[in-house]
Structure 1
Amino acid sequence: MEENSMTPHAKRAYSRLFLFIVLIAAIVSSSSRIIVHAAVKVPDTIRVAFFINLGANKYQLLTSAATLQSAGGLNLVWRDPKVSLPAGSIPAGQSVRFAMDGYRVLILETAELNAAISVLKKVQASSSAAFVTQLSKNGKTVYQVTEGNYSSAAGANSALTKWTNAGVASGIQTLLSPRIAGPWAVEAGPYASVAEAKATADQIGNSSGLDAFPALKPIDGTLNYVVRIGQETDSSVLAAVQQAASAAGALNVRVPAAGEPYAAIRNDMTYNGSANKPVPLYAIPSGAGAVLRAEPAGAGGIQLIERSKRTYRGNMEMSVLNQSLAVVNEVDFEQYLYSVVGAEIGSKWPIEAQKAQAVAARSYALSSGMGYQIAHVVDTTLSQAYYGIGYENANATAGVNQTAGEVLTMGGKAVKAVFSSNSGGITADSKIEIWGGDNSYLASAVPSPDEGPQNGRLDWYHVALPSGQAGYIRSDLLADSGQDHANGAKLLRVTGDGTAVRSSPRVVSTVEPIARIGSGTLVVELGKVAEYSDYSWIEAPMTPEQLLASINKRAKNDITGPLLTLEVSKTGPSGRATEIKANGIAVNVGVPDNLRGALNGLKSTLINIEETGRFTILNGSEEQREIHGQTGSLHVIGGDGQAEAISGPNLYIMDGNGQLRAATSTPKFVISGKGFGHGVGMSQWGAKALAEQGYDYQYILKYYYKNVLIEKDA
């Protein structure tokens, strides 16, 4: 064996190099920037429900119709458990509608389009399920105004009575008496094309006066066109309709079995109205398992009119679930996240915050499974905000692409990486303060740098006016007068004419100020507060009636009014309310997060309740008396020794420390708080601040989610 010929100097250099390599390896191995490549599978697509009915006491967001269009046109596909077949196309820029073929009130049939549109508008004032349908009958074009998509004839019959009594079609010449239109019909055909089926439907209607529409129909693995004749409420009259249709020249007329799939095609005038341009409406029956799928024929997405006219990537699927129209968007998973991240956080936020949001959103969606029966998630903040292509931006897209396939996991499974807008400086404890359940991967009661929404905002002064009213004025509209009130409080001078006094420290254009006061007016300073934001907020004083109605709408135990006292009786690790008492009785709303809704829709449960009508006084005998809405009147003794009843709604009390407090002679409640949202998991504003401090997305994620790995799709 040859002896090592390295010199001592060379040996030392080699040792230093080796030590350097080992040190670098140790640093890299201990860094948070490790992504494990594991068997976590992120699917290629995700299904997002826009409208879906999961049944009573479950998720329900309903629509009577879905209206689609695409700049490049649409291709339609018929899908059911047996087949998937091309079903025609919609030209570029033109609309197509979808609805359930259920029971409807046929309010009016007229040959005058303008008359039909007039009745339509009256019905639309109190119903979102009104339609105008164009068809041919007795040698003329007629228009039927219908309302509703009811699951039963009984439901439609009740509505018929309502609309008849309302007289919405009074004074208009009608071609028939109001009645119920249903999904029962006979079928003729098949025909070679939709044009042939439509021509046959017109011919049958013109010669017999029957309602006739073309329809799609799968037969032996192919998609055919038939004519459906009649809009009947049950099967008992179908034999007579079959005979009348055959006499009118229809071929191969048959009574279809209940549950056979089809999609009737109606000329709908509802959307375009008096423009006299019918739009095809595909009416899908319940119970047949049929799905109509719309795919973009060219570049660009699909606009869904009933979802704020937003445009979405991917395909749209329309079906019937639980007697309601279901609309589901199937879209590329990563492209779905482009919109989610763009909608959830600011487009100019740091890239590391974008990346943290992308991984959290991907994890949340993946953990949801098929949580909505025929969809993984919904498009609202109940899942994640998903508002389509218009909410995408380059920064959000970069955050998604740079973390493609990365998921937060625990035990080899994606965690439900919930997040909220702003945790108010401290994250919530999910188990105790919000929903209960597993809390092991969510950081509980950790500080969060959430002050961002307050940056650049002016403070507001809480002031007492000469009229006795109390309110808020923005600090730049006031100046120090150099004077003090007799009670020692500072007097501030108003600097402009018509200065608005607000009920809370913010400007709401739709809410009138409680007062306007002129330049030079002196007001008494009661305190200085931050402007209303997602980080810190004060709600306008609420009346006992407002809060009692809101509480009893959601509470499992009704509180007997009037509401005299309301207080936070228990809090959790972060200081969030876990229980409130009304009139001394604990309010049961289920999980603590439901307190937000019970208290008239608060931004969070990190709150303080001020009872302005509750205070303790000492009488002449040094006895304490607690005031909170008792009967009788309150008197004060002036410096001249004379007692005087307090008649106005406002009064001001000085406590033992010399602090002036605005109170009311009757119960009212001012709720202030911190944060926006449930506060569990990642705070989006906190992630922004951490990114601005130089932390990367992996640090941010592991700050808000504990004991997790960041794994990449294998």
Structure 2
Amino acid sequence: MIVHDKRRYARLALLLILVAAVASGSTRAVVHAAVKVPDTIRVALFLNLGTKYQSLTPVATLQAAGGLNIVWRDPKYSLAIDAVPAGQAVRFAMDGYRALLLETTDLNAALVVLKKAQAGSSAAFVTQLSKSGKTVYQVQEGAYSTAAAASSALTKWTNAGVAAGVQTLLSARIAGPWAVEAGPYASLAEAKASAEAIGTAGLDAFAAIKPQNGAMAYVVRVGQEADPANLQALQQAVSAAGAAGVRVPAAGEPYVSLRTDMTYYGSANKAAVLYAIPSGAGAVLRADPAGAGGIQLAERSKRMYRGSMEMSVLNQSLAVVNDVPFEQYLYSVVGAEVGSRWPIEAQKAQAVAARTYAQSSGVGFQIANVVDTTLSQAYYGIGYENANSTAGVDQTKGEILTSGGKAISAVFSANSGGITADNPTEIWGGDGSNFASAVLSPDDGPQKGLLDWYYVALPSGQTGFIRSDLASASGQKHVSGANLLNVKGDGVAVRNKPQASTAEPIARVDAGTPVVQLGVVPEYTDYSWVEAPMTPDQLLAALNKRAKTPIAGPLLTLEVTKRGPSGRAVEVAANGVAVNVGAGDNLRGALGGLKSTLFQLEETGRYAIMGKDGGTRELPRQQGPVQAIGADGSVQQLQGPNLFIMDGSGLLRAATTTPRFVFSGKGFGHGLGMSQWGARGLAEQGYDYQSILLYYYKNVSIEKGA
């Protein structure tokens, strides 16, 4: 039942406990140690690691206010390629298989077909090249790893008629990465001129670069073949066109092909260079800023990033990694993770925790240390930096939390809901020696200054929430003994949870409407929350995505059967059978994406009814119609979805005739390690960052890395 949230601990008692715990745990000193904190960190912005992690893009578009320097990097060489002018875009993609939809001399016609393809794909391109003495434009879609996948895409686009009615110079076909090579040439300009000359024979020719004898070589790649079967005939055709040094390169030879791409600035009739990177050659292209300021990555919401960008192909997908100075990476992380106006000691605590977590990650993502999402820690580039976050990082430069001479995995969460979690029993299992288990945390900051909400019943039988400034006690009682409220004004919103939003409310009520108060709850925040009722089908689908043994429906009952030291749920039973979802923290996702596992569960369709014979029927296990005796003694069957009953304490309770499930809880995140809102609360009480860290992390030292 949803009732008024009485705080579990008196504020004075909580303060005294915190004072004792913080004071006893703090060494208030930073030890200089031999732990090496790296100068840079590699952050994956796009990466394909299969089931472990996937963040995919078919193309990466970069630009910088001061320009970019493009460099070839592989285990042997680091060679300069080109300088991109200030403000000009450059693009990178995988040289894979594509559906070639159209070739035309009409750029506007190509852009029309492009827009149609873009409605269903983020991997549509317009490529400009010279053929048969004309400038032509090819519309291609995809960056597929196999010809079969590209073939399926081609069938889809052809059936959709995206190029219908547009005159094309060739039939739609599969384009692929197989080509012959001509050259080498003395410069990129000579390679481009040769590509244009070869194109007069009606061949697809592109300048390309590759390392050769420790220097950058310039060649021409001719053809976009879906398989190597035609390469010998193509070699003869290229030789006949007058090209020198024509050969069939060995599979796996490193190269990068340069295309003239009209996609990104197509509407302005401007071209950008697109570097097409092969999937199996291990080539890495690096973009370094040529001047002050960061690099913009269009496909990451046009965010700006410090450091350099590295583009490669991993697992048949384009990979984009930001190689950034470690401390500058933390400027953005701290700025994204905590509020810019939070106390400096909270900023410093966050900086040390974030630095420690990143340090402990190693190369956790194959070619990167961390990713830019909260799977590691939030990192959104320069735009999320602020003066306070930067100060917090600078004032703790190099400091990390260690145990046994190594950086600990200093995980943290947004809000622990007033009490931290216990790792061995409640979260991921395993060692919990470096985390404060089930200790009180002053996390109620999000609630300060917010109004409570009334949980109410409407004359229609609906239940919902009205903000407390929009209704007041009438001084009258419902027949059940519950308070009646006066609604202030007309059109007052009734919400499905205690939170204002732009979505249309579930109902609106006018002044004079009798509204029954069922309870009072805090406003929905990261500290205290109530989720809208979930149906059995919604919960069953969510549970079966995580359950190791599928649950047979229908879902009638769901209850918490085990809790850990902090009160977090660690096991639930569906229809009386325990559900195994693995680690305890997996329950958040298994229950439809709850903010935390520190929750209570109300089954509104579960109750016992006494029959006329004195026996009881337990719903929903014992199903059947629900009947009630009216004030006049008549018996009638309840038809609507909602009903109201008196519970064992004599309080009016909202119930339903079919199963529904309401979750109400505390906190946001796993609750292990430092609570960010708790750190703010301690900082506001005057504690320094060392005391804060040593309250949430145990058996650790704060050391300044070498």
Same fold (TM over 0.5): yes
Other-structure match for 2:89: 95
479, 490, 514: which one pairs with 2:483?
A: 490
Aligned to 1:186: 180
What aligned pairs does 1:485-524 form with structure 2 within 5 A after superposition? Answer: 485-509=478-502, 511-524=503-516
CA contact (8 A) 1:181 1:231 kept: yes
For 2:408, the equivalent position in structure 1 comes to: 415
Asked if the contact 2:423/2:432 (under 8 Å) is kept, the reply is yes
Partner of 2:527: 535
What secondary structure does 2:500 align onto? coil
**What is the match of residue 575 of structure 2?**
583
Is 1:148 the equivalent of 2:106?
A: no
CA-CA distance at 1:624 after TM superposition:
2.2
Q: Is the 8 A contact 1:113 1:274 kept in 2?
A: no
| 1:430-449 to 2 correspondences below 5 Å | 430-449=423-442
Matched, 1:707 2:693: no
Counterpart residue type for residue 70 of structure 1:
A
Instruction: Indicate the SS of the match to 1:208.
Output: coil
Q: Partner residue of 2:105?
A: 111
Q: Which stretch has the larger CA shift, 247-256 or 79-88?
A: 247-256
1:112 deviates by 2.1
Distance across 2 between alignment mates of 1:555 and 1:127: 33
2:691 partner SS: helix
Greater RCO (CA < 8 Å, at least 6 residues apart): 2
| Counterpart in the other structure of 1:639 | 631
Q: Which string of whole-angstrom CA distances, capped at 9 and with x for unpartnered residues, describes residues 283-326 of structure 1?
A: 00012111100000000000111111110000000011111111
For residues 289-438 of structure 1, the aligned pairs below 5 Å read 289-438=282-431
Deviates further, 134-143 or 224-233: 134-143
Output the CA distance in 1 between the equivalents of 2:705 and 2:533: 51
The CA deviation at 1:422 is 0.2
> Which stretch shifts more, 630-639 or 587-596?
630-639
Q: In the alignment, is residue 594 of structure 1 matched against residue 586 of structure 2? A: yes
Instruction: Report the counterpart of residue 273 of structure 1 in structure 2.
Output: 266
Q: 1:322 to 1:255 in 2, by over 3 A?
A: same
Aligned twin of 1:64: 58
1:653 correspondence with 2:645: yes
1:228: how far off? 0.7
Aligned pairs for 1:553-632 within 5 A: 553-628=545-620, 630-632=622-624
- Give me the whole-angstrom Cα distance separating, in 2, the residues matched to 1:479 and 1:629: 39
Q: Would you say the 8 A contact 2:25–2:694 is kept in 1? A: no
Q: CA deviation at 1:167?
A: 2.1
Q: Does 1:477 align with 2:470?
A: yes
| Corresponding residue SS for 2:540 | helix
Seen in structure 2, the aligned counterparts of structure 1 residues 30 and 670 have a Cα distance that, compared at 3 Å, is closer
**Secondary structure at the residue paired with 1:201?**
helix
Aligned to 2:121: 127
Aligned pair 1:42/2:37, yes or no? yes
Q: Which runs of no fewer than 5 residues in structure 1 stay unpaired?
A: 1-27
Larger Rg: 1
Alpha-carbon contact 1:213-1:227 (below 8 Å) kept: yes
2: CA distance, partners of 1:121 / 1:430:
51
Counterparts of 2:392 and 2:498 in 1: how far apart (Å)?
36
The secondary structure found in structure 1 opposite 2:465 is: strand
> 2:261, 2:581 → 1: CA distance?
45
**Equivalents in 1 of 2:97, 2:648: separation in Å?**
70
Distance 2:271 2:235 in 1: 28
Structure 1 residue 30 displacement after superposition: 11
Counterparts in 2 of 1:102-251, with a 5 A limit?
102-205=96-199, 207-251=200-244
Residue 551 of structure 1 aligns to a residue in which SS?
Answer: helix
Gaps of 5+ in 2: 1-22
**Cα distance in 1 between the residues matched to 2:271 and 2:592:** 44
TM-score by length of 1: 0.94
Which residue in 1 is equivalent to 2:11? none
Displacement of 1:126 after TM fit?
A: 2.3
- Distance (Å, rounded) in 1 between the aligned partners of 2:603 and 2:380: 40
Secondary structure of the residue that 1:300 maps to in structure 2?
Answer: coil
The answer on whether the counterparts of 1:103 and 1:153 sit within 8 Å (CA) in structure 2 is yes
Following superposition, the deviation at residue 107 of structure 1 comes to 1.6
2:5 alignment counterpart: none
Q: TM-score, normalised by structure 2?
A: 0.95
**Corresponding position: 1:86 with 2:86:** no
Q: Deviations over 1:462-494 (max 9, x none)?
A: 001111111100000002212111111111011
Aligned-residue offset at 1:372: 0.8
Cα distance in 1 for residues equivalent to 2:110 and 2:623: 59
Q: Is the 1:460–1:475 contact (alpha carbons within 8 Å) kept by the matching residues of 2?
A: yes
The CA distance in 2 between the partners of 1:670 and 1:117, in whole Å, is: 51
Number of residue pairs the alignment of both structures matches: 684
CA contact (8 A) 2:26 2:690 kept: no
How far apart in 2 are the matches of 1:116 and 1:570? 62
Cα shift at 1:111: 2.0
Shift of 1:496: 1.4
Q: Over aligned residue pairs, what C-alpha RMSD do you find?
A: 1.5
Residue deviations 1:41-88 (CA, integer Å, cap 9, x gap)? 00111111111112x322121110111000000001111111101111
Runs of 4+ in 1 over 6 A off after TM superposition: 28-31
CA distance in structure 1 between the aligned counterparts of 2:623 and 2:445, rounded to whole angstroms = 46
Instruction: Decide which moves more: 163-172 or 93-102.
Output: 163-172
Moved more, 243-252 or 690-699: 243-252
